[in-house]
Amino acid sequence: MTVALERGAELDRSDPLRDHADRFVPTDGSVRAYLDGNSLGRPAVDLAQVMADFINHSWGSRLIRGWDEEWMDWPLAVGDALAAAALGAAAGQTIIADSTSVLIYKLARAALSLRSPERDEIVVDVDNFPTDRYLISGIADELGLRLRWIRTDADLGITPDLVARTVGERTALFLASHISYRSGYIADAAEITRIVHAAGAPVLWDLCHSVGAIPIALDNWQVDFAVGCGYKFLNGGPGAPAFGYVGARHQDQARQPLQGWMGHARPFEMGPGYQPHPGIRSFLTGTPPILAMVPLRHAIGMITEVGLDAIRAKSLALTDFAIELIDERLVPLGVRLASPRDHEHRGGHVTIVGDGFAEVKDELWKRGVLPDFRRPDGIRLGLSPLSTRFAEVALAVEEIADILG
Amino acid sequence: MTVALERGAELDRSDPLRDHADRFVPTDGSVRAYLDGNSLGRPAVDLAQVMADFINHSWGSRLIRGWDEEWMDWPLAVGDALAAAALGAAAGQTIIADSTSVLIYKLARAALSLRSPERDEIVVDVDNFPTDRYLISGIADELGLRLRWIRTDADLGITPDLVARTVGERTALFLASHISYRSGYIADAAEITRIVHAAGAPVLWDLCHSVGAIPIALDNWQVDFAVGCGYKFLNGGPGAPAFGYVGARHQDQARQPLQGWMGHARPFEMGPGYQPHPGIRSFLTGTPPILAMVPLRHAIGMITEVGLDAIRAKSLALTDFAIELIDERLVPLGVRLASPRDHEHRGGHVTIVGDGFAEVKDELWKRGVLPDFRRPDGIRLGLSPLSTRFAEVALAVEEIADILG
């Protein structure tokens, strides 16, 4: 065992969350280190039983009665549980629904329903996640608005300074990711929100890479709109439903255009004419994805139990360890760290770049070490605080060193 | 045992699909007859195991590799399986995605992207399902179009004659339900599609109450767009993903506005600028709901195995029996059948109306007989061919007679 592997094992022994890693389904023999929990989180060991109970005793036995008895409340109740555990948001502002992409469309359109006609620009950065950029481009085309692109440093992300230089009296909406999907850079969401508000516009934050990894304080930051992903650090399973947050003060003014029956004030009257439900419920569209919420609901329970402060402490310990090993073992081999070093701006994943990294990633996968790859040359080590072991970090760095060496 | 109950038991014994009813999770002691499988279909006995295998061996072990290995194909592959089993559609035209409501928005917008400016009316009927009416009203407002309402007979539904009198050179889109959610009336989709096409407009059929209950022939009928529900006769579970069909000839012209990364030609290049994927894939938006597709995929397998002709034969036998008992036992008590009597126009559910039926429904639920209720006075008996027993039909009618008598 190398020094790095020994240190990883030692850190695992002293990790206060070490028991939690045992609560996830063990990877099979084909995986020695899983470092992509920020693309797809892992299932809990007891999830199959939770799902069997849901299928046989809730769906299978309560049948249609399940809707009145509890399911109609789930989009808001599970949203509230997530808000309390991970979003720093009071109840009644968060729903579980749709996909991140569909919610970006709905909430961006809702945000833009508030604009005055002279505000005709949407501010977005070139390094935002593709689906955000694609959707907002489509919306701008549809509504005859202009996109104002911010050029960010790809190793970092969006900064208050860049935003302050861009927003103004023509800004209708600001859209950005709280944590950059590539570099892991944490934007100063509180300060940026303040700057955008000072320019008279609302913000829409994409929390996909921050939710479940770092503390978030949507209410304190006075965020207007936010969306995020259920299948990354929230462990909701492939294609899990997403969540959307609409600040209470906007809920009865902002209107999203997908006005389906679940957003109606009295859906089961089935009457003529759409009347939006008061509050956050008007942001629902179709029948809520109840079965698909079961894993997410279960995982939110685990996050609630552990708490975001303990999760963030473990996350920083994991990324500290990763950066230490990268500096020791990989930088001498020509690898460059493409993520922030300071805790303040460092999220839950770490990206390294180097020559031939597309092939390095392929070789890593063959060896059972699974990081993600981001074109053109980034290997992204995603460290999921509840499930990743320090030993996995050490193994990944050792294998990269071996391939490069 | 009454004569009706004896006849129900006898029909169950001679039912060629009798073994299939045993393949669903038995209802618990609180349910004696489940007659709402057209609102929420039941889970299969082996589904919990199928889901456990997915959670532990696919999601939990293949992890992120699952996307490349198979999940990226699921929205189209499961769509194709459904198309072959139940839609009469060739491969490459059907996706599993989103919810029915979100897909109505996307496909109606796509259909309207084809219109010429002088076509400014959307034709829809007053008895269409609420979410269809609410969504299309919102779209009309957004795009500055006018809704042209058809008044249908609520006991029946949309007819070729009513459509022929309404569509014309101003028609931009025709939207209707293939089977009325209230009366169960089957619209002549082939003839109505022909009439709308002759007026120069496309059709969008809502198949929620027909898919999995009666044979459908989208390709032969030259349907343009269709959507449908995964949790009724398709047994996909509460809030299951929906499906959307776009005729091959429209796929590269019609554009839906929710242009997320999964509809992009090369999503993992993550490049600037949205480029729609050729074919049906451009109708995807966000990350596909893979876990939520597991029950639907399993249920489609059962439909494929049995075949729609056998399913329809059982469905007609169930509704024949229901109508026979209604005539014998309930009509003398003042109940009226509010569904078609002829096989040609009779779908998979039967609605009866009468005084005080809201209270009758409450009493039925207390007695463990679960039909649906549709305001103001309709009790809807949903007969799901794969899972409903004739004995359940007999029991429901006997209990209604007992309450009224």
Q: Identify the three-state secondary structure at position B323.
A: helix
Nearest chain B CA: its distance from A367 CA (Å): 13
State whether A25 and B133 contact (CB < 8 Å): no
Q: Of the listed A7, A42, A115, A232, which one is catalytic?
A: A232
Q: Which of the four pLDDT bands, split at 50, 70 and 90, describes residue A280? A: very high
- Hey, which bits of A215-361 come out as E strands? 225-228, 242-246, 336-337, 349-353
pLDDT of B310: 98
Tell me whether residue A232 is one of the annotated catalytic residues.
yes
Instruction: Report how far residue B230's alpha carbon sits from residue B303's, in angstroms, rounded to the nearest whole number.
Output: 13
State whether A43 and B56 contact (CB < 8 Å): yes
Tell me whether residue B18 is one of the annotated catalytic residues.
no
Name the burial class of residue A243, with classes exposed (0-12), middle (13-18) and buried (19+) by CB atoms within 10 angstroms of its CB.
buried
Model confidence at A1: pLDDT above 80: no
Q: Which of the four pLDDT bands, split at 50, 70 and 90, describes residue A191? A: very high
What does pLDDT average to over chain A? 97
Structure tokens at A50: 């939770």
Q: Are B242 and B129 in contact (CB under 8 A)?
A: no
State whether B290 and A64 contact (CB < 8 Å): no
Per residue in A90-146, pLDDT tens?
999 999 999 999 999 999 999 999 999 999 999 999 999 999 999 999 999 999 999
Which of A238, A265, A296 has its CA nearest to residue A95?
A: A296
Q: Which of the four pLDDT bands, split at 50, 70 and 90, describes residue B1? A: confident
Q: Of the listed B34, B174, B225, B231, which one is catalytic?
A: B231
Nearest chain A CA: its distance from B61 CA (Å): 5
Instruction: Report how far residue A142's alpha carbon sits from residue B109's, in angstroms, rounded to the nearest whole number.
Output: 11
Percent of chain A with pLDDT over 70: 100
Which CATH superfamily includes the segment(s) B3-44+307-404?
A: Aspartate Aminotransferase, domain 1 (3.90.1150.10)
Q: Of the listed B129, B174, B233, B243, which one is catalytic?
A: B129
pLDDT of A30: 92
Pairing of strands A203-206, A121-125: unpaired
Q: Which of residues A270 and B90 earns the better pLDDT score?
A: B90
Which of A130, A241, A287 comes nearest B270 by C-beta?
A130
The fold for domain A3-45+308-404 equals: Aspartate Aminotransferase, domain 1 (3.90.1150)
Q: Are A172 and A112 in contact (CB under 8 A)?
A: yes
Per residue in A8-51, pLDDT tens?
999 999 999 999 999 999 988 899 999 999 999 999 999 999 99
Q: Which of the four pLDDT bands, split at 50, 70 and 90, describes residue A153? A: confident
Structure tokens at A228: 């995020």
Structure tokens at A171: 């800004």
Which chain A residues are closer than 8 Å to B145 by Cβ? Answer: none
pLDDT of B259: 98
Q: Which of the four pLDDT bands, split at 50, 70 and 90, describes residue B104? A: very high
Rg (alpha carbons) of chain A, rounded to whole number: 22
Q: Are B374 and B361 in contact (CB under 8 A)?
A: no
DSSP string covering B174-196, please? EEEESB-TTT-BBP-HHHHHHHH
Nearest chain B CA: its distance from A242 CA (Å): 10
State whether A239 and B292 contact (CB < 8 Å): yes
Which chain B residues are closer than 8 Å to A139 by Cβ? Answer: 257
Fill in the amino acid letter for A363: E
Model confidence at B357: pLDDT above 90: yes
Model ipTM value: 0.97
What does pLDDT average to over chain B? 97
Tell me whether residue A206 is one of the annotated catalytic residues.
yes
Instruction: Report how far residue A374's alpha carbon sits from residue B154's, in angstroms, rounded to the nearest whole number.
Output: 56
Instruction: Report how far residue A143's alpha carbon sits from residue B57's, in angstroms, rounded to the nearest whole number.
Output: 45
Fill in the amino acid letter for A238: P
Q: Which residue of A has its CA nearest to B38?
A: A64
Q: What are the strands of the beta sheet with B349-353, ordered from one edge?
A: B336-337, B349-353, B378-382, B372-374
The fold for domain B70-305 equals: Aspartate Aminotransferase; domain 2 (3.40.640)
Which of B99, B273, B291 comes nearest A239 by C-beta?
B291
Q: Which of A73-82, B20-29, B44-53, B170-179 is predicted with the least confidence, judged by mean pLDDT?
A: B20-29
Average pLDDT over residues B200-223: 98
> Which residue carries 């012209």 as its tokens?
B253
The structural domains of chain A, with segments of one domain joined by +, span 3-45+308-404, 70-305
pLDDT of A13: 97
Structure tokens at B18: 């009798």
Which chain B residues are closer than 8 Å to A43 by Cβ? Answer: 55-56, 59-60
Per residue in A286-320, pLDDT tens?
999 999 999 999 999 999 999 999 999 999 999 99
Rg (alpha carbons) of chain B, rounded to whole number: 22
CA atoms within 13 A on the CB side of A225: 28
Q: Are B38 and B382 in contact (CB under 8 A)?
A: yes
- First-last CA distance in chain A: 18
Q: Of the listed A34, A231, A233, A245, which one is catalytic?
A: A231
Which chain A residues are closer than 8 Å to B241 by Cβ? Answer: 289
Average pLDDT over residues B187-215: 98
Instruction: Report how far residue A177's alpha carbon sits from residue B280's, in angstroms, rounded to the nearest whole number.
Output: 29
Nearest chain B CA: its distance from A190 CA (Å): 27
